[in-house]
Structure 1
């Protein structure tokens, strides 16, 4: 579960992450929703859904959970009900974001490698259905955690902070539930993204060799090959970013389970275990605000739309000044 990071470094980094992440995700939502990026409607549905879920991760995990508990200790956010709800919302939004990335990877795998299934699966209706199911199931499976929190202490009748009930550490059911939770996020998504991308690369390489044999003389002008390359750039960029930023979190979880050291909450901020733990958490959160930069690098049309959005205020102001100056110009 999420615990508030401490230390000057994290106290500075999380506000920066929020200041970058929220505007970046909102820009992504606006630009993708305009439908001017040259992407099909169902792909746009997936990408907009990912951007919305990433925005919710930044709001819940970074602003409410991290910044709120670093800078506003003793506020209502530190009461047991708010603390428990915050932790559940963080995990739920994180799961939605991760599994929507998996859903997008599956969609691209079907579109590229399963031509017979493509016309039935790669549709806007299917995309909306998958997005709805992923969101509902991700939220539902985190609800039990809310019931397992108890106050860390009670002051003047008010419950403050939250800790797991003792039964969480002794019950086989809860231990199985925790392992299932970590298996579903991030072990299974990590494995699926690696597997599907490997299969997609193998299919593309095989198809490319076949096309070269058939059209060796015209390969430079093969528009289908060009479109296929453009189609997979976005997939691989998003997938690689996810794998790299979650690798530290995954490695730290395995380290804790193997060594039995446990998660650290109150320790010297310079302790290597504490630094590793909080760095893993931060990198995992960074994955929720970097997609816009990936789109800007991988998609020329997205860059063009981004330029229009960023320059539109200046264009509007300049146009107003021109109209005012034109109106003040004396007629001859």
Structure 2
């Protein structure tokens, strides 16, 4: 039987995505850990957190779930207990990637909009506490995922596969969990990112107008170091949050229109436009964890310089980083 085009596409797409995403995030973590990018320690902690969560998405969601379980259907990964754990981890890592991005957006909003709160909130210690708290909350929030699936079939007294537990899904608790899970994964992040960025833009425009009046000459505005610093910060912020919004948009729209959540166990026609759109949405949202490295390279000159240095002597830099961590 001829294989559907979308299945051939995913067989090519996910290995390519993993081959780029894993090294890209590892390099990003290595560069940021050195602390030579001219970024504050607070921003560095958030960016390291995002890079680490993106790396986990590449490993768990792409390599383990979309590659190994797809190409090795009789492996231990398809045993129901293991399958449930994998699905639980995919939910956790994806939530971490989303909410770490939101936490970074909020931090930049506070730094630009509230001078008084900035000194207390925008610190390395606070950033570490925020990311740790978010991780613990996400791990706890996604526990019901373990009860969302049940055994698909039993072969030789061994439980194989995972399918949605109809009884759990129809229960009030299960229905509420699905709705909340979707809200915290898409609509709420979209709303928060739009809100924080709107406040940030409003503050920057107001501050820029004041500085222009004080300087008394609009033509010198581009040479104002304060304006240049703000512009670089806003470019980085908007590039990260804008990339997230655009790459998740297809997944959000297709879920709202089709209601499909588990494309791997979709029982219908693989050539159905609804299924194809959902699969494309899944591909695009998993591209998001790869985009941040490209954004850093495009917007941060010091990051590009470190990237070039690492390309010239990768092993020496890696050994220095390993030595530093061992010393800690």
TM-score, normalised relative to structure 2:
0.90
* Secondary structure, counterpart of 2:18 in structure 1: helix
Partners of 2:13 and 2:26 in 1: CA distance:
20
1:281 equivalenced with 2:285 (yes/no): no
Alignment partner, residue 161 of structure 1: 161
2:21 is paired with a residue whose SS is helix
State the distance in 2 between where 1:174 and 1:276 align: 26
Provide the residue aligned with 1:244 in structure 2: 246
What does residue 122 of structure 1 align with? 122
**What are the residue-to-residue correspondences of 1:199-238 with 2, within 5 Å?**
199-217=199-217, 218-238=220-240
Structure 1 unaligned segments of length 5 or more: list them.
Answer: 317-332
Distance 1:6 1:71, change over 3 A: farther
- 1:168 CA drift (Å): 2.0
Larger-gyration structure (1/2):
1
Shift of 1:216: 2.6
Number of the residue aligned with 1:148: 148
Deviation by residue 1:260-285 (Cα, 9 ceiling, x = unmatched): 99967134433211110100011110
Matches within 5 A, 1:1-332: 7-217=7-217, 218-257=220-259, 265-312=266-313
Q: TM-score, normalised by structure 1?
A: 0.89
Instruction: Give distance in 2, aligned partners of 1:306 and 1:280.
Output: 31
SS of the counterpart of 1:163?
strand
Structure 2 CA distance, aligned partners of 1:54 and 1:16? 16
| CA–CA separation in structure 2 for the residues paired with 1:314 and 1:178 | 46
Distance 1:315-1:150 versus aligned 2 partners, 3 A rule: closer
C-alpha distance in 2 between matches for 1:85 and 1:313:
35
Deviations 1:13-36 (A, max 9, x none): 000000000000000000011100
Aligned length, in residue pairs: 310
3-state SS in 1 of match to 2:105: helix
Which residue number corresponds to residue 325 of structure 1?
none
8 Å contact 2:254–2:274 — kept in the other structure? no
Secondary structure of the 1:36 match is: coil
